[in-house]
Structure 1
Amino acid sequence: MHADIVFTGGIVRTGSANGPVHDALAVVDGRISALGAAALAARGPRTTVVDLAGGALLPAFGDSHVHPVMGGLGLHGVPVRDRASVEDVVEAVRRWADEHPDAEWITGDGFDPWLAPDGRFDARRLDAAVADRPVVLRTTDHHTAWVNSEALRRAGYTAETPDPVGGEILRRDGSAQPLGTLREFGALNPVFALIPPASHEAQVAALREAAARFAAAGVTWVQDAWVEPHHADVWMAAATTGPGLPVRADLAFILEPDGWRERIARFAADRERVESAAPGLLTARSVKFFADGVIESGTAALLEPYTDCPHSHGIANWSLGELAEAVTAVDALGFRPHIHAIGDGGVRTALDAIEAAARSNGPRDRRPVIAHAQLIHPADLPRFAALGAIASIQPLWAQRDPLMTELTLPRIGPERGGRQYQIAAMAASGARISFGSDWPVTAYEPLRGIATAVTRQTPDGTPEGGWLPEERIDVETALTAYSAGCAHQAFEEEEWGALRPGMRADLVHLAADPVETAPAALAGLPVLGTWLGGRRTHGTGASGYVPAARG
């Protein structure tokens, strides 16, 4: 049988450990049919020949933890990302408000939490730009919001308002008056609930925009790590109408402590609804938990107190007993727990809950996920491999950027600061690792994450030799975490994540071989093409997308 597509003119890296490098790959009916000489021999009169132009063809990337709908919506609103100062953010708010006089709420997404000392942002600074309409800006980590006085007023936050469960309302020095900085979802959600939601159509458009960006970065599968009930309808609409989607996805239904027993009652039906709507394109196998917050805001759960706040261990969103009960319940329904855990206390609680579920429900191939795993106590690191827990790590975070130097390290001190993002140690322990971006928290392009994982440096090359250089990994390991690691998380390692006959033709064409590229140049390596099941979704000749059928 003649091939539908033959790739030649470069190298083909299969993604298998110590696997051979080939010079060609053939595709028939959306699946890889041959490699090397056999692929070249499969060319026929109607075969599309793709010239790799001296570049490299690899397994396409996945993203093990990302927020496509949220990120797509965040591309609009006040452009506060990458602003250099509080003054720049305030000026952006002023300008956007003047240009949108009919907007009831003024929102922006992704400003840097280190722009104000100790991450404390004052409502009065925003009041000077907009006083008569509520302003709500989210930091890059999405665990903190800076709001103006009108937003505080509408939420009913006053000096008499106690800190809510699972949240913190920062106060002015020497006063109980709210400052204008809200931390964690217990404090954030009452404000967010007042913001008029984007329409279904706007959310579908935002998801399409995000998915197109993923495809341009070489990504063909994503784990949506925060799915509200209405998000399932957004994914189904985007996948089954119009041009479809250029990515496959697994959806993780969010489960919060309040009323969780009632919420899980609908999860199985929602899973069936999603998977029957777009078989082969969408799955809904995961449930998302937040074990804790983030270190930079002092809300990650730590085993020992914060260095700069000796009376605080952070915020545990679930008690150990209740998280274990909830994880056990969703595990019994056949879902995979996907647990946000940043601090060593949060990681231990997550591991304990996973262990409790296995003990209660019996052995099976679960593949639970602990997302981020920023700080791990030495006693807990071997437990990942022992429990079969996947560490979904965001490699772009493993650098000494201002977030690390201005907020994180001062809060946990040098000893704990020296055991963050232990990627190499995790791999050496036998744990399974998948890489993701947590976009819109940080950039979604896998090559940027690979560059950081390999160098442990900021984009300007600091520090020399890398931050915690013993945790650097090689390019092949980083590529695997973004491909086969994600496929393992998806329970689809026999479908994609490596290039061999019978696998889906989920492929990425890079302008040069990443293994032979200087580490500092990896982040800028051009992505020339992406294919989802043999259909080109990015690059010259990319066509409209259609829902992928299982086959």
Structure 2
Amino acid sequence: MPVTDSVAIADGRIIALGEDDVSSVRGEHTEVLDLGGATMLPGFVDAHIHPVMGGLRRVQCDLSELHDLCAYRDRISDYAATHPEAPWVLGGGWYGDVFDGGFPDRRELDSLVPDRPAALGSHDGHGVWVNSAALAAAGITDETPDPPGGHILRDAEGVATGMLVESAADLVYDVIPPVEPGEVRAALLDAQSYLHSLGVVAWQDAAVGEALGLPDCYDLYCELAESGALTARVTGDLWWYPDRDLDQIESMTKRRDALSDNGLTFSATAVKIIQDGVCENFTAALTRSYHQHPHEHGMSFIEPQQLRRVVAALDTAGFDVHLHAVGDRAVRESLDAFSDTANADDRRHQIAHIDLITPEDVARMRDTGVIANIQPLWAREDPVLVETKLPFLDEDHQNWHFAFGSLAEAGVPLAMGSDWPVSSPDPLWGVHTAVNRTAPAGDPHAQDEHSQTVPLLAEQGIDIDAALHAYTIGAARAARLDEFCGSIEVGKDASLVVLDADPMTADPRHLSDIRVREVFVRGVRV
């Protein structure tokens, strides 16, 4: 990551670095911008994000900036009252720790939305809270069996509670009226403006296809790129449908190849596969049982031998593979699958999340060259972690929790992303947490003193240089965008962020206080 004092830009590209070279290309019509002591970095790249979901949530019943049951009740009631024309009340962003037992109940939502179906996704995207009308609309009764890869939660009497986990959520998503194309377009453009305001100039969309209850946005990305409205550079990860066979690779290849060498800001060079769930609902796949739950080991959504076949076929077809693996068993199954790939053509295979990992698999990641696609904002002792996750992990699992430091020390390439709207897409908040292992002061989900002062495994923190690298060139490489962005180098896009303080010299405890002053995308101030 070169350091310089001057940058020259023409036609959206960096053409010179350093005062002498910059002076030699300055002309009478050159616009000169003096930063006045501010710090300019390459624009941030988010290696794992869901912008359509994030954009839609901003215009639906958005609970993501709240962390209190009374506040949830008020927001849901107000939204329902101000949107009487909506056939369903939709939204999400709730956190389980505000509810008794860690999960919401349909009766609570029945009291808030008694007149129509309501479906509110959890903040992590691995469950949905629905009312009785939504259960009825989906045909879910107390006798409905759990679908493969999912759970319909039930109370002690066997009554469905209105909490649907993993693939069970699809039973409701399948009957929700589809979002209008105009709404999806507006949501993606709104998300782009929001991300630009945080200094994000490029991203990897981790679900391009009919996934997570959302429409396929491949054609929309193509349209926006062709019109010039997609100012960010985006790599779309084509969604792997686990209920389909290897023949889906043919259509994926056509989608990827249709975008090759056309100069657009959108490409589709990767495939996203979900291998497990999350620890909070016992669906993350663990090598040992959940603490005090001896019969719960989580779920492998794809049988390990089949996963190996899928990954090998995608690698042969020239795709980068982006695997969601939260539990240490899912990480191991992912590494087993990657061990069969030749990796001869500069693949950018990656494992996302890696909440838990064993020491031996840290070494395996280094040896296979797989990128650790990590979400740094999760690595702190906030109420969600302390109340709804840590109690279910044994001591050894807790000691290898978000092991960023061990991964970095071993030489595993790091890329950072937010998983927005699961968590805030603010890169400076992510950098702060990666370094300090504590929560940013402004985070509404961690306003207690413990979250902001007591680090989660302080030895697993990484230094500021490594964190910035992972949120710029590391993330750009994971998204196969490092030709264009991620560092300030001649020939790359002039996609840059100006900060009001230098993160390299700032007090690490106050990294999240740094603010974005200006953002440029290919030389244009956005």
Place the TM-score, normalised by the shorter chain, in its bin: over 0.9
Aligned twin of 2:473: 484
The match for 2:37 among 54, 70, 76 is: 54
Distance 2:477 2:71 in 1: 43
Residue 41 of structure 1 deviates from its aligned partner by 4.2
The match for 1:466 among 442, 451, 455 is: 455
Contact preservation (8 Å) 2:231, 2:265: no
Q: How do residues 394-473 of structure 1 correspond to structure 2 at under 5 angstroms?
A: 394-460=375-441, 462=450, 464=453, 466-473=455-462
SS in 2 for 1:49: coil
Aligned twin of 1:543: none
Contact preservation (8 Å) 1:275, 1:282: no
Contact preservation (8 Å) 1:207, 1:238: no
Q: 1:76 to 1:349 in 2, by over 3 A?
A: same
Distance 2:45 2:11 in 1: 22
| Residue 171 (str. 1) matches residue 181 (str. 2) | no
Aligned twin of 2:194: 213
Give deviations 1:344-363, integer Å, cap 9, x for gaps. Answer: 011111111111233xxx73
Aligned twin of 2:116: 133
Aligned twin of 2:444: none
The match for 2:255 among 241, 258, 270 is: 270
Q: How do residues 148-547 of structure 1 correspond to structure 2 at under 5 angstroms?
A: 148-173=131-156, 175-184=157-166, 186-228=167-209, 230-241=216-227, 244-275=229-260, 279-358=263-342, 363-460=344-441, 462=450, 464=453, 466-537=455-526
Residue 280 of structure 1 deviates from its aligned partner by 4.0
Contact preservation (8 Å) 2:226, 2:264: no
Distance 2:70 2:517 in 1: 39
Q: 1:101 to 1:492 in 2, by over 3 A?
A: closer
Report the more deviating stretch, 119-128 or 485-494: 485-494
Distance 1:45 1:451 in 2: 42
SS in 2 for 1:379: helix
Residue 512 of structure 1 deviates from its aligned partner by 1.5
**What is the identity, as a one-letter code, of the residue corresponding to 2:239?**
I
Distance 2:247 2:96 in 1: 35
Distance 2:389 2:201 in 1: 33
Q: 1:251 to 1:58 in 2, by over 3 A?
A: same
Aligned twin of 2:446: none
Aligned twin of 1:7: none
Relative to the length of structure 1, the TM-score reads 0.90
Distance 2:229 2:483 in 1: 24
Residue 245 of structure 1 deviates from its aligned partner by 2.0
**What is the identity, as a one-letter code, of the residue corresponding to 1:246?**
T
Contact preservation (8 Å) 1:324, 1:357: no
Residue 403 of structure 1 deviates from its aligned partner by 1.3
Identity in percent: 38
Residue 137 of structure 1 deviates from its aligned partner by 0.6
Contact preservation (8 Å) 2:272, 2:323: yes
Contact preservation (8 Å) 2:104, 2:129: yes
Distance 1:210 1:138 in 2: 18
Residue 465 of structure 1 deviates from its aligned partner by 5.9
Contact preservation (8 Å) 2:55, 2:187: yes
Distance 1:83 1:428 in 2: 36
Residue 318 of structure 1 deviates from its aligned partner by 0.7
Aligned twin of 1:108: 91
Q: How do residues 1-16 of structure 1 correspond to structure 2 at under 5 angstroms?
A: 15-16=1-2
**What is the identity, as a one-letter code, of the residue corresponding to 1:508?**
V
Residue 88 of structure 1 deviates from its aligned partner by 2.9
Distance 1:196 1:206 in 2: 17
Distance 2:340 2:138 in 1: 38
Distance 2:95 2:479 in 1: 32
Distance 2:64 2:265 in 1: 31
Distance 1:296 1:227 in 2: 25
**What is the identity, as a one-letter code, of the residue corresponding to 1:63?**
D
5+ long unaligned stretches in structure 2: 211-215, 442-448
Distance 1:245 1:274 in 2: 14
Q: 1:495 to 1:126 in 2, by over 3 A?
A: closer
SS in 1 for 2:395: helix
Distance 1:267 1:500 in 2: 33
Contact preservation (8 Å) 2:45, 2:471: yes
Q: 1:374 to 1:365 in 2, by over 3 A?
A: same
Contact preservation (8 Å) 1:119, 1:297: no
Number of aligned residues = 512
Residue 264 of structure 1 deviates from its aligned partner by 2.4
Residue 275 of structure 1 deviates from its aligned partner by 4.2
SS in 1 for 2:397: helix
Report the more deviating stretch, 476-485 or 76-85: 76-85
Residue 71 of structure 1 deviates from its aligned partner by 1.0
Contact preservation (8 Å) 1:296, 1:403: no
SS in 2 for 1:22: coil
Aligned twin of 1:547: none
Aligned twin of 2:8: 26
SS in 1 for 2:33: strand
Contact preservation (8 Å) 1:256, 1:290: no
| Residue 68 (str. 1) matches residue 51 (str. 2) | yes
**What is the identity, as a one-letter code, of the residue corresponding to 1:346?**
A
Distance 2:173 2:43 in 1: 36
**What is the identity, as a one-letter code, of the residue corresponding to 1:398?**
A
Contact preservation (8 Å) 1:451, 1:523: yes
Residue 491 of structure 1 deviates from its aligned partner by 3.0
Contact preservation (8 Å) 1:134, 1:151: yes
Distance 2:163 2:454 in 1: 37
Residue 494 of structure 1 deviates from its aligned partner by 4.1
